[in-house]
Chains A and B, each alone.
Chain A
Amino acid sequence: MRLFEFQAKEIFRKYNIPTSTFNYLIKTPEEVNTILDKLPLPCVLKAQVLSGRRGKAGGIKIVKTKEEIPRLVEQLFNLVIGGERTHAILVEDYIDIERELYVSIAIDTTTNNITILASPLGGIEVEELVLKYPEKLFKIDVDPFIGIKPYQARSLAKKLGLSGRLINVFARILDSMYRILIDYDAELVEINPLAVTKTGELIAIDAKIVLNEPAKYRHQEAFKRLEEEQEAIGITKNPTEAKLKELGSTAYIEFEKEGIALVSDGAGIGMYAYDLINELGGTVAIYCELGLANTAERVYQALKIISSNQKTKAILINWFGGANIMDEMCKGLIQFRRENTNIPIVVRIAGTNSDKAHEMLKGTNIFVTEDINEAVNKIISLGG
């Protein structure tokens, strides 16, 4: 789960990472009028979006006079960044920046480490700049059982060109970022830029935190609060997706056109079938993976949810059970079929106890095969 800047900064402040002293979230264009008198000038208006590259897309405006605020607020609310409309605007006081650093702590899945990345070339061009000057990107691997060694943080501060008291200030910021990563089970905690101000302070100008979904179960309250905050500024969930996720579904994608709902029980065969349907000119409307340890009841509920989506014109069941037990899942399919006789269904079932499942389906009028190629051809011939 990716957090908005205003959410990440709230966490930063809890961990004493310096941010701008003034901060206010505007949720509608009208709301700005209520705080016009309180705004410090100059100030900065920052579009709250989850997509990256906000700065380049014009999502940040510096305001010098009160008069220009309503127009700029209006402009920002109409902005679309990476397909995403501005959800809210964060107002902060303007900070005079001497130079910009980049620093992040992340779970690096390519090396299985917790990795610190830092560069003196922070700011909106950081990705391009560190590609051009790789020697300006510093990397430290952290042993997850030991944590950051403070001397590593101080050495890093030196490499970033910091001196005097800022060395220790930087080390404390890094320690806070690390604690956030651990305490919240984050995949990424990033500050870009971390500003060295004209007055010789370090301030987090932007803030990015990505929380690890699998760890949600041990941070239920935090996730719930953060999700509610996001809903309050218009992050909506696809209703079909939300219901399926509740049942334990591990993937859901809804496409523009109506057509086949592809219901798989494994990611590999799901993608294989998806490729094949596209290759043969069929149209997938819904891509869904049910996940592991499915019961008859969950399958029945999932199929009801999927079939009630207007885009579903036919259902392709694509199951090759290993851990999933096919005769158990098949019970749910048959119960669904009894109540929904109109919708075309093609079934590919193989794997654990699939011989029993095939036997169970014999009395029905459902087309059944073990072979995905055959199943895909059949569903396309039925108009999928």
Chain B
Amino acid sequence: MVIEINNVRLDRNTRVVVQGITGRMGSFQTKLMIDYGTNVVAGVTPGKGGMKIHGVPVYDTIFEAKEEKGPFDVAIAFVPPGSILDSCIEAVDAGVKLIVVTTADVPYLDAIKVIHYANKKGAKIVGPEAAGILVPHECKLGVHPVQPDKYFTKGPVGIVSRSGSLSYDTSRILSEAGIGQSAIVCIGGGPIWGTTMIDVIESLERDKDTEVILMLGEIGGTIEEETAEYIKRNVSKPVTALIVGRYAPPGKSMGHASAIIMRGRGTWHAKVQSLRNAGVHVAKTFKDLLEIIQKHLKR
């Protein structure tokens, strides 16, 4: 059994439509996704219907694509911030249940509208500003680096991360030590998330391939604290966490809009305290992290 998010199975058979496939980023990432084995069925760019990108047929609308190719499980959007509201609503209306939004700088009002709309219709947004989902040797539904293909290997560690880059680096460290990953899910820089850490951990808890859950968090906001509360009550698998931004100066944004300590809230210490209270092992460095995970796997 492979991981499911919002009841969508994520493996090499998962049917994917790429929105904004003809753009620089969309086209480049589509090639990487296909090379990795992802089942990219169609692409959509309004006005570019009839083209082919890396062998994938392009349609003007997602409905036309659906008519010819059948329904899609996942949509991945490489469209500009101003088009996200439009492209996500189109995907939801076309019955797509999981939509990955890689675009950064989406206006907050649009982001909450999209999430509201998706939730009402039983769909789920991953992001915005999300690196997306990678299931090693199954599918790449995001911008994860798979060329060279050495950072991600198949194995027992399920990763949920706010940051894309930190999840790549952590996977590299694990893979070099011979420890593979069941899934790497990057939910986005925040502070607005269509899919939360809790949603992902719920999936990882159910996933048979995942033995250890690894949570990569950062300062700012309270998502780690909320997740800690959830873990305490609902998670049986061992959870390890790494929280970055320990030395961050208060009141300054460290790159993600949400990575900012405001009025003493969202500090590293507050997060680590609530995670420890929930029985989560907290690492400060990659070296610590590796040791903790190795210990969990030996048990």
Give residues in A with beta carbon < 8 Å to B: 107, 109-110, 112-114, 143-145, 181-182, 185, 187, 212-215, 217-218, 250-251, 253, 255, 264-272, 274-276, 278-279, 287, 289, 291-293, 320-323, 325, 350-355, 370, 372-373
Contacts and interface: CB of A to CB of B under 8 A. Distances in A.
Contacts of B166: 266, 268-269, 271-272
Contact of B163 (A181, A214, A266): A266
Interface string B21-57: 0001100110010000000000000000000000000
Contacts of B24: 293
A276 B255 CA distance: 17
11 contacts: A107-B108, A107-B109, A144-B116, A253-B254, A266-B164, A267-B254, A271-B248, A275-B246, A293-B25, A351-B168, A352-B32
A322 B164 contact: yes
B15 interface: no
B176 to A, nearest CB: 9
B189 interface: yes
Contact of B112 (A114, A213, A372): A114
Nearest to A373: B286
Contact of A267 (B29, B113, B256, B285): B256
B259 interface: yes
A181 to B, nearest CB: 8
Interface string B226-254: 10000000000000000011111100111
Contacts of A322: 131, 142-145, 164-165, 168
B124 interface: no
Contacts of A372: 169, 286
Contacts of A266: 163-166, 255
B222 interface: yes
B165 A217 contact: no
Looking at chain A's contact residues, the main secondary structure is mixed
Contacts of A291: 104
Interface in B239-287: 244-249, 252-259, 284-287
Nearest to A319: B165
Contact of A275 (B32, B102, B245, B252): B245
Interface string B140-155: 0011111110010000
A355 B287 CA distance: 24
B70 interface: no
Nearest to A267: B255
B199 interface: no
Interface stretch (B6-14, B91-99, B213-221, B291-299): B213-221
Nearest to A82: B251
A292 B104 contact: yes
Contact of A215 (B29, B108, B115, B218): B108
Given A267-B256, A289-B255, A325-B28, A145 B247 contact: no
Given A268-B216, A271-B259, A293-B25, A354 B221 contact: no
B211 to A, nearest CB: 24
Given A107-B108, A250-B255, A266-B255, A370 B162 contact: no
Contacts of B210: none
A350 B108 contact: no
A144 B108 CA distance: 11
Contacts of B110: 215
Contacts of A215: 107-110
Contacts of B284: 275, 279
Nearest to B115: A112
A175 B166 CA distance: 43
Given A268-B166, A271-B254, A112 B143 contact: no
A268 B190 contact: no
B156 interface: no
A171 B284 CA distance: 51
A353 B151 CA distance: 12
Nearest to B148: A355
Given A112-B111, A266-B165, A274-B254, 6 more contacts: A144-B112, A181-B109, A215-B109, A271-B245, A291-B104, A322-B165
A268 B115 CA distance: 24
B51 to A, nearest CB: 22
A235 to B, nearest CB: 16
B104 A267 contact: no
B194 to A, nearest CB: 8
A370 B193 CA distance: 30
A187 B108 contact: yes
A291 B285 CA distance: 24
Given A182-B109, A271-B254, A275-B245, A214 B147 contact: no
B164 to A, nearest CB: 5
A255 to B, nearest CB: 8
B65 interface: no
B90 interface: no
Contacts of A353: 147
A167 to B, nearest CB: 28
The 3 closest A-B pairs by CB, nearest first: A268-B163, A266-B165, A268-B166
B172 interface: yes
A268 B244 contact: yes
Interface in B97-136: 102, 104-113, 115-117, 131
Contacts of B112: 107, 112-114, 144
Given A112-B115, A267-B218, A144 B109 contact: yes
Contacts of B145: 320-322, 350-352, 354
Contacts of B164: 266, 268, 322-323
B161 interface: yes
